[in-house]
Amino acid sequence: MANERKIAERLKAVAHPARLRILRFLVKGPSCATLTNREIDISQPNLSQHLKILAEAGIIDFRKIGTKKCFYISRPDFVDELFKLFDNEREKVILEDDDLRNIYGTE
């Protein structure tokens, strides 16, 4: 039961487009908040809130370097499987749509 609760918390934490963009960016490597903010293109307070939610779920963590917080993915296995799952699903849906077009002869 506790494991299901933890999984549900993590899934809830990634259930936002901005948080998924943050994770896709951090997959490339650790990043300080200011650089992440420039790449994600959301306001600084909004970014801070999203980073906090991901950190509380245990998906990311940070290390303080001087006055900067540098974030990294602390659960790479979870994030990797998450993107594999949905990237594969996306390819499958596109294939099914193409199959339907072929069946019905529509463009």
Question: DSSP string of 7-41?
Answer: HHHHHHHT-SHHHHHHHHHHTT--EEHHHHHHHHT
Angle, CA of 23, 54 and 29, to the nearest 5°: 35
pLDDT at 105: 55
Q: Report how far residue 2's alpha carbon sits from residue 62's, in angstroms, rounded to the nearest whole number.
A: 25
Q: Render each residue's pLDDT in the chain as its tens digit; 107 residues.
A: 678 988 899 999 999 999 999 999 999 999 988 888 888 889 999 999 999 999 999 999 999 989 989 999 999 999 998 888 877 655 555 545 565 555 555 55
Angle, CA of 33, 39 and 41, to the nearest 5°: 95
pLDDT at 104: 52
Tell me the CATH architecture of domain 2-74.
Orthogonal Bundle (1.10)
For the chain, the domains span 2-74
